[in-house]
Chains A and B, each alone.
Chain A
């Protein structure tokens, strides 16, 4: 750095024109893109029969009715711990994958990467490969440039619209919404969401691209802290590659390394970096430089892997001519095993929780203001607010009963004496006021607190649920 020429405080973005590449990792990335985008776009269209009164969409986030449907699973708001558990699993999963394989999430499955990849592929399809795009970038504005740019942004906007379009289908019945969207009768929120997502998708995937990863995303910083010497990440075998061609070595006649400085690894990089500089924050480990370099090595008759997946430990060992560890030793380490164990514990816990929950449920809240009421014949009465939960897709009759050591009578507000059947509508919670009374002078009336248990039985499949509470007597006064 020379003092005559101080660095600028602000830098213009250097445009990146990734070149097309073929190879193992590119194929893998195409496959992953197909699967992830396929899941995203198609999931809302899968149907799942839940009975007449429930939606038949396999995956549906029903915000208005506060329900989340996922195939055979239905999550109510009070079961939000499932979501919390899944988030914990997602977090631990990221720890696991990052410590074992570095930024593999960033390189292959992060939506930012997948969509950017899709947008770059579209751009290449419309404007041509790297060289054509660089020429177009530098060209003066003429008819052809305008046509190509308009076509590109229009196509991007369509992709963005489809992205936003798929998003809204997760929140309401997809076929209905699709028809409504077409004939203009859908809710304004649907159109607004689509418009906002279309614009942000084009912006993030088409325009901002690698800058999102470098400047906006916190993951690169966090992940860098979670990687260690054993983590398999992308590296350049500099002991094999250097001195590269075009370097000083050419003039002095020293023996040359395998790197011919063709810059294939640089031109294919979607982040616009040179992997030969070593591991760096901007590298998302997508593996495209490996494909590019392997291709060149094959052409000049050198072994593949000048740029390759390798750990810092192995890089050091290999450079020093020592044996390297097999891959499984990098992956099966105490650290990754601990992550896996924690991940599995949460997962097993969630699955168990999923299977032990019932389709019917009740919660009993005793009315405590006042704790008891004296009736004219001296009967002591307690009131309970009982919430009955029916998760079935149809209305169910629940039979209420009561278990207690002291003789207590139970009746329901607004129903005949002895009629203890409550019809609970499909997929809802129903509140009933339950009166429990003890005759004057009886054990329950004179006692302080008498334990009691409410039972409900679904008359159709005889499923039962209970809740415990107390009957408050006068305490002898």
Chain B
């Protein structure tokens, strides 16, 4: 091939690598203009947007833009979009929510977030409760205060055994041991009876004694057969589910000291801060209801 004519026009940079030389071609002029333009743009940008660090912050920029403000705007926009759904959630018959795919999906998603933020601390993220603390499992079919959706809404709104709401669910079990209502042997016998009616290993002789004590002391709340009473939040003692535990030691402790599980009222009506609106309570109730244990 012929020699490159350009070499005569522009020359080389004088660099040579293994005989390969670099032509000293000029840049296109517009390229230079673009460089100047980017500098002008950058100056304008630092004036328009937050840029220069100062001692306690940064320049705010004449456009007043901030990422925090952008998030606020996004939240407001989403809230506006959801306003209609939240409105429907407060007015609709909750039992019918499941038939409305859009509302049901919204309630489950909203309820899941509300649950994670407010309920999971005690009931666990998966709603399985914590037996050691007596925080009920919300996935099973055993409900202390009733498990249909209206009852769940009531429990969340007013809470249990709290001083925030006058309408909170309330009951109190006597401390049979600590207040010396029953003596030690009687409590031991009761433990065996409770183990018997819940189908666990037990001492049959003691259980027979316990059965009589049960009718005198416990049946008024827990029922003759130990089936519990939702009106009083008295647990079913004859099933396989234990709020605090079904071993002898735990049952003994439950009778001796009694239990007094507390749940706060979540309605914003009863809380200075961090309360839930009616729509939010309905959403969390729908969420809990569909987890699988509800009635």
Using a CB-CB cutoff of 8 Å, which residues 54-113 of chain B contact chain A? 98
Residue of A235, A369, A414 near B126 (CB, 8 A) is: A369
Residues on B with beta carbons closer than 8 Å to the beta carbon of A277: 1-2, 4-6
Q: Are A433 and B142 in contact (CB under 8 A)?
A: no
> From residue A149, how far is it (CB to closest CB) to chain B in Å?
20
Q: Are A375 and B27 in contact (CB under 8 A)?
A: no
Using a CB-CB cutoff of 8 Å, which residues 271-293 of chain B contact chain A? 290-293
Q: Interface with B: A7-15, A47-55, A190-198, which one?
A: A7-15
Residues on A with beta carbons closer than 8 Å to the beta carbon of B128: 369-370, 373
Using a CB-CB cutoff of 8 Å, which residues 136-169 of chain A contact chain B? none
Q: Are B1 and A374 in contact (CB under 8 A)?
A: no
Q: Are A413 and B10 in contact (CB under 8 A)?
A: no
Tally of chain B residues near chain A (CB < 8 A) = 37
Residues on A with beta carbons closer than 8 Å to the beta carbon of B236: 376
Bound-complex Cα distance A19 to B24 (A)? 29
Q: Are A278 and B2 in contact (CB under 8 A)?
A: yes
A377 at the interface (CB under 8 A from B): yes
Residue of A11, A274, A369 near B125 (CB, 8 A) is: A369
A200 at the interface (CB under 8 A from B): no
Residues on A with beta carbons closer than 8 Å to the beta carbon of B10: 1, 7
Q: Are A10 and B28 in contact (CB under 8 A)?
A: yes
Q: Given A7-B10, A378-B240, is A278 in contact with B1 using a C-beta cutoff of 8 Å?
A: yes
Contact digits for A371-413, partner B, Cβ 8 Å, 1 yes 0 no: 0011111100101000000000000000000000000000001
> From residue A24, how far is it (CB to closest CB) to chain B in Å?
24
Residue of A276, A315, A375, A413 near B140 (CB, 8 A) is: A375
Q: Are A376 and B4 in contact (CB under 8 A)?
A: no
Tell me the dominant secondary structure on chain A's binding face.
loop
Q: Are B11 and A9 in contact (CB under 8 A)?
A: no
A211 at the interface (CB under 8 A from B): yes
> From residue B141, how far is it (CB to closest CB) to chain A in Å?
5
> From residue A244, how far is it (CB to closest CB) to chain B in Å?
9
Residues on A with beta carbons closer than 8 Å to the beta carbon of B223: none
Interface residue tally on A, bucketed by range? 35 or more
Q: Interface with A: B29-37, B153-161, B212-220, B250-258, which one?
A: B29-37
Q: Are A13 and B30 in contact (CB under 8 A)?
A: yes
Residues on B with beta carbons closer than 8 Å to the beta carbon of A72: none
Q: Are A377 and B290 in contact (CB under 8 A)?
A: no
> From residue A1, how far is it (CB to closest CB) to chain B in Å?
3
Residues on A with beta carbons closer than 8 Å to the beta carbon of B241: 374-376
Residues on B with beta carbons closer than 8 Å to the beta carbon of A375: 140-142, 240-241, 293
Bound-complex Cα distance A367 to B127 (A)? 11
Q: Are A377 and B1 in contact (CB under 8 A)?
A: no
Bound-complex Cα distance A368 to B291 (A)? 13
> From residue A311, how far is it (CB to closest CB) to chain B in Å?
13
A415 and chain B: residue at smallest CB distance: B98
Residue of A11, A238, A378, A413 near B29 (CB, 8 A) is: A11
A378-B240, A383-B139 given; 11 more Cβ-contact pairs under 8 Å: A7-B24, A274-B5, A277-B2, A277-B4, A370-B124, A373-B293, A376-B142, A376-B236, A376-B240, A376-B241, A440-B240
The chain A residues found within 8 Å of chain B, CB to CB, are: 1, 7-13, 211, 215, 235-236, 238, 242, 274, 276-280, 315, 367-370, 373-378, 381, 383, 413-414, 433, 435, 440
Q: List 16 A-B contacts (CB under 8 A).
A: A1-B11, A10-B28, A11-B27, A211-B28, A274-B5, A277-B5, A278-B4, A279-B1, A370-B128, A373-B139, A378-B199, A378-B239, A381-B292, A383-B291, A413-B290, A440-B240
